Structure 1
Amino acid sequence: MRNTEQLNIEGQQPGKKKKKFEMPHIYVILFVFSAFAALTTYFIPAGEFERVPGPDGRTTIDPNSFNYVDQTPVGIMDFLTVIPRGLIDAGEVVFFTFIIGGMFMVLRRTGIIEIAVDKLARKFAHNSIMLIPVLTTVFALIATLIGTAELSLVYIPVIMPLIIALGYDSITAAAIALCGTVVGFTAGVLNPINTGLGQKLSGLPVFSGLGLRLIVFIVAVAAAVLFVTRYAKKVKKNPMHSLVYEDDTEKRALYNNVGKAEAVPATGRQKWAAIVALLFFAVLVYGVISKGWFMVEMAGLFIIMGIVVGMIAGLKVGDICEAFNQGFKDVLMGAFIVGLARAVAVVLEDGNIMDTIVHALGAVVGDLPPALAAVGMYVVQVLINFVISSGSGQALVTMPIMAPLADMVGVTRQTAVLAYQLGDGFTHIFYPTSGYFMAALAIAGVKYQTWIRFFYPLFLIWAGISIVVLVIAQFIGWS
């Protein structure tokens, strides 16, 4: 008889479970990225392009001006400050995250969110799955017209209670908002941020080539809807299949019975508070579309919105302050992650190797055969987005290089712009260096590691779609 201490067939002792691999904490991941970036400043030659005026008063680069400069490696003392400086550089996103968390906590304390969710849950109780294609498409349409993927930060807390009440989970709510907005932003049918700026920098008529981008939009939205719907149906059928089942315990306790018990009527003050809240959201939409508002303006509006709506609903000033405090606590980790992610770019800028990396990747594309050049441009943009997470920032740095390079390797400039859009866009909700994305996960209460486990198959599907579209564009000489 075999000794109980003998190893079993798998090489383990009986009764001992094989440990599963666990992805390190996001703090650890980002710290390692920052440390690795600091090490590369000792080995990658420092270099820089000249900065020159670009379209719409923006600063871009002169693609023919690259020069190597004196090495400026990031030492230990410099490295000690990169995280605080990352928080300072990303301050706009950090404080927007705090304020939106606080404002929505005030709305929850008024009771108007629960009442609205109750009514919607009753309305969609028998056809709740249709919310996924409808909301995803609406969010995608808005993003593809005005280029504000960051609005997902607003959408998530608005739809989260309803999605939970209908029997889904936090990932479903986050995916509807993040996937919808990123598809719209990436396809950029009439997006001034990536399509318009990329085409201006490449000397193309603004918004030309709309037909192929529209096809990309339809196909990518369809892929997202099918992927998210499939996951949501599994969760609805068996909540234990949720990747955030334990993390959502409190949310389920708060919202799962909404729409099932007897409806609680809104008080007169709550009705007026709801009307005023809707008016504030109307002002928000007007400001973003017509006045070019971004996070600073939206944050200021949300502060006033929380105060005014809270007082109309009958909350005391002290209650409003405490609600803001609770909201700040709920998103604290996500806000810190935004700054920690920014530290990677701070290191590369300190070491003057950001431009060197861009220059080297551009040279690699120039060595590819024409049949692969468009795909090579896409891969380069995917890589660069890890360190330049701003869509417009990436356009200003890369398109002055990629546009003339496209002429040299036999790729149309229109295709080069599309390669930038596809390489930049989808990675915004994949890389932890994307500030608004990490803030969105914080608001949704979804861990980065959990999101990647859910999202990476869809990311690979989108990557496959991108490559196929670029090969077709190259084949037909799309211009």
Structure 2
Amino acid sequence: MAASKTTSDIRSSDSRASERRRKFSFPSALTVLFFVTIVVWLLAFAIPTGAYQVGDDGRPIPGSYESVDTDLSFWDRVMQLFMAPVNGLYGIKSAETGVIGPYEAGELFGAAGVFFFVLAIGIFITMAMRTGAIDNGVAHVAQRFGKRGALVIAILMVLFSIGGTTEGMAEETLGFYALVIPLMLSLGYDRMTAAATILIGAGIGVLASTVNPFATGVASDAAAVSIGDGIGFRFLMYVVLVPVGVLFVIRYARKVKADPASSRSGRAEGDEEIARAGIGEIQPLTGKHKAVLAIVAITFAFMIFSLVPWAQVIGGPDAESYAWQLDWYFPELAALFLLMSLVVGLIGGLGEKGLTDTLVRGAGDFIGVGLVIVLARGVTVIMNNSQITDTVLNSMESLVADTSSWLFGGLMFLVNIPLAFLVPSTSGHAALAIPILAPLGDFGGVSRAMVITAYQSASGLVNLITPTSAVVMGGLALAKVRYDQWLRFIWPLLGILFVLTLLFISVGAAVS
């Protein structure tokens, strides 16, 4: 008996071990960046050191690369690795030597400004959601147009896309499934329609980000350009691509309503009861809710106004800023969103304890994004202090020197697709790749703003399907839609978006 029991235990243990081996989980962005940091540090021992001459604008001069010697000892290199996260946050670039460290004198190189801005906007978003105004506002839109299914889908997708293009709406969408699923079922559609309305709406907004701080903002900081650079072109992409996604979802929804058997997701148990109940009773939209919604809209509109380089857009890149032009950047924006978070919390009636608790929770929810940015910037610091960044650029310069601008733009888009799979975090992807790719655009005759657009478009496209995304997998789980069903549903749209985006980037690069 004892022997039999031992054998059974061993078999059970082997089975559990085998099951654990089969359930491979792709590492998080933080884990990926940890290993990237180690790999880059090791490669710095082997890659030759060198540097470009720089012009008055601080950008490398094509063809001026030359080898240089570095006097870093082994202990110096160990300290570079040890201090990488710290330097990634508040490392100072020495005005004399170009070395980055916390005790140097010069210009801030670390991502402290971006880090605190991410926390501030996280607090603002969390505060607005906590008041219930955003959920209730969307519910009232759904109720008002509830009898016109196609219009409801279009309105909701546009609302989610606005959230995506302005503030990178992602995890925030998970709270809307409880509203959108019964709404779509009551209109005669299926769960796939509900998932697509949210995921594709917000996803295309992120793909065509205009001022999304987690994509456009982080990338602009890494490229040393204004977030407003290229905003007109990105807005044009938004205006074209969002209707494509809306029409794709509406076409599918109408097909399902006419023939329920054509549903890609099928019916789950209890869907008939949910459809009959609809979205249920909705709380009145109070004056506080209306005020909070107005403040949220005004704050994001003011952010856009403060970022756009109006004089340079109208009069060319060398024009002097207008007297009323703010030219704000991350420090001012962080202060703006912190202030408006307090205003939203007070008007929303959260009280002192609710306000402070939400402030801490909002910062905590977004601290992971901030750490990703800091770690990625730390990798850049290691490359800079080891003097291998320009060597990597030089190895790529010959590849793009004789490349036409339109081809270079297309290549930037294609190169960023596998990078987006490797680092699904848009901010982590930007902080890791843009320091290399943006100067490469200088060599290829393509504006840095267009390089940023290529990166964020590739990242947004991949993040519509990436299985490592909590937004995709969590949303599908809430909608009770299998991942394989989602892939079969969305692949035609992915193909359309891929072709249109590639054309946009190629043409934009040619005329930039």
TM-score by length of 2: 0.59
Count of residue correspondences: 397
3-state SS of paired residue (1:43): coil
Asked if the contact 2:207/2:456 (under 8 Å) is kept, the reply is yes
Alignment of 1:147-226 (within 5 A): 151-153=166-168, 155-156=169-170, 161-162=175-176, 164-167=178-181, 173=198, 175-183=200-208, 220-221=241-242, 225=246
In structure 2, stretches of 5+ residues that fail to align are: 1-6, 8-13, 91-109, 182-190, 257-262, 270-274, 307-325, 420-428, 478-482
Aligned to 1:261: 280
Q: Report SS of the residue matched to 2:59.
A: strand
Displacement after TM superposition at 1:151 (Å) = 2.1
Equivalent AA in structure 2 for residue 275 of structure 1: A
Amino acid in the other structure paired with 1:402: G
Q: Which amino acid aligns with 1:83?
A: P
Deviation of the 1:41 alpha carbon: 1.1
Question: Partner letter of residue 295 of structure 2?
Answer: L
1:55-103 deviation digits (Å, cap 9, x = unpaired) = xxxx322213222222458723211221233244233333233233333
Q: 1:286 to 1:362 in 2, by over 3 A?
A: same
> In structure 2, what is the equivalent of residue 67 of structure 1?
66
1:34 Cα offset (Å)? 1.4
Contact 2:413 2:454 in 1 (8 A): yes
SS in 2 for 1:23: coil
| 3-state secondary structure, aligned to 1:31 | helix
- Contact kept, 8 Å, 1:86 with 1:343, in 2: the verdict is yes
Contact 2:165–2:209, Cα closer than 8 Å, also in 1? no
SS at match of 1:51: coil
Contact 1:156 1:173 in 2 (8 A): no
Separation of aligned partners in 1, 2:395 and 2:152:
45
Change (3 A) 1:108 1:184: closer
Say which SS state the counterpart of residue 281 (structure 2) adopts.
coil
Partner of 2:78: 76
Q: Cα deviations across residues 212-265 of structure 1 (Å, max 9, x unaligned)?
A: x9997777556655777799997985689xxxxxxxxxxxxxxx9997332323
CA distance in 2, matches of 1:81, 1:172: 44
Code of the aligned partner of 1:165: L
Q: 1:378 to 1:418 in 2, by over 3 A?
A: farther
Structure 1 residue 402: Cα displacement: 1.2
Q: Which residue of 2 aligns with 1:40?
A: 43
Aligned mates of 2:407, 2:462 — CA distance in 1? 20
Find the counterpart in structure 2 of residue 28 from structure 1: 31
Structure 2 residue aligned with 1:51: 54
The separation in 1 between residues aligned to 2:440 and 2:414, in whole angstroms, is 12
Q: Secondary structure at the match of 2:55?
A: strand
Find 1:358's aligned residue among 371, 390, 393: 393
Equivalent pair of 1:381/1:419 in contact (CA under 8 Å): no
Identity of aligned residues (%): 20
Residue number in structure 2 paired with 1:426: 457
Task: Give the TM-score, by structure 1 length.
Answer: 0.62
- Inter-partner Cα distance in structure 2 for 1:130 and 1:85: 50
Question: Is the CA contact (8 Å cut-off) linking 2:208 and 2:238 kept in structure 1?
Answer: yes
Runs of at least 5 residues in structure 1 that lack an aligned partner in the other structure: 6-11, 144-148, 201-205, 241-255, 404-412, 433-437
Q: 1:418 to 1:119 in 2, by over 3 A?
A: closer
**CA-atom RMSD, angstroms?**
5.4
AA partner of residue 49 (structure 2)? A
CA contact (8 A) 2:204 2:241 kept: no
Report matched runs for 1:98-113 at 5 Å.
98-113=119-134
| Partner in structure 1 of residue 300 of structure 2 | 284
